[in-house]
Structure 1
Amino acid sequence: MLQIGGAAMLQLTDIAQHVRESRKAQKLTQAALAARAGISRAQIERLENDKLGDMGIVLILRVLRVLDLELTLQAFNHGRPTLDDLVKDNEG
């Protein structure tokens, strides 16, 4: 899972790296991934090289779905502990 928000803020470069690594781990070529996502191989290449240009979030989400990746958003907590942080502190 890719997560954006809180302390684990990802940059587009991180998403590009996850896409490239997941594609290779699944032994997919850029062309095969592109075909499954319904976009061009050139768009996959731009995504993997962090040169998105006009590639919108809908196309990025289609690629992530093919790779069984999920992008989640969460409210920024401004440094306050999350419930998960409090549970971990209580267990230790």
Structure 2
Amino acid sequence: MSQIDLVELGQTIKEARKAAGLTQGQVAVMIGSSRTRVIAFENGYAPDMSINTVIHMLNAVGLDFRLSTFNHGCPTLDDLQAEQAEEDARNARRGLPWPRW
């Protein structure tokens, strides 16, 4: 994810929680919070939730939190690799040689 807002983060956590087979109550116990707070965060509303609690919630559902240096709009290696993979797939569909270097 390159840029994400609170609603998207909550939705991502909700999807990961469900994929992990966890209930909101189980996550709440794991992070030492209430089910109500987990529900609020999954719905994109938790203005007073600490970053520490968010990180614990991410970890509880199998996700992590990473920081990177600001790249001033330059593509990252992941961006370039994804772009190349898309181009290679398009070329393969057209019958062009793969990979094109």
The structure 2 residue matched to 1:11, chosen from 2, 5, 21, is: 5
Runs of 4+ in structure 1 deviating by more than 6 angstroms, as ranges, are: none
Give the root-mean-square deviation of aligned CA atoms.
2.2
User: Normalized against structure 2, the TM-score is what?
Assistant: 0.71
Paired residue secondary structure (1:72):
coil
Q: Closer, same or farther in 2 for the Cα pair 1:44/1:76, shift >3 Å?
A: same
How many residue pairs end up in the alignment?
84
Q: Which residue of 1 aligns with 2:25?
A: 31
CA distance in 1, matches of 2:6, 2:18: 18
Q: Which residue of 1 aligns with 2:97?
A: none
In structure 1, stretches of 5+ residues that fail to align are none
Q: Which has the higher strand share?
A: 1
Larger Cα Rg: Structure 1 or Structure 2? 2
Q: Structure 1 residue 71 and structure 2 residue 92: aligned?
A: no
CA distance in 1, matches of 2:21, 2:74: 41
Paired residue secondary structure (2:66):
strand
| Partner AA of 2:13 in structure 1 | V
Question: Which digits, 9 at most, give the CA deviation of each residue in 1:53-82, with x for residues without a partner?
Answer: 211111111111111201112122112344
- Higher RCO (C-alpha 8 Å, min separation 6): 1
**Aligned sequence identity (%):** 34
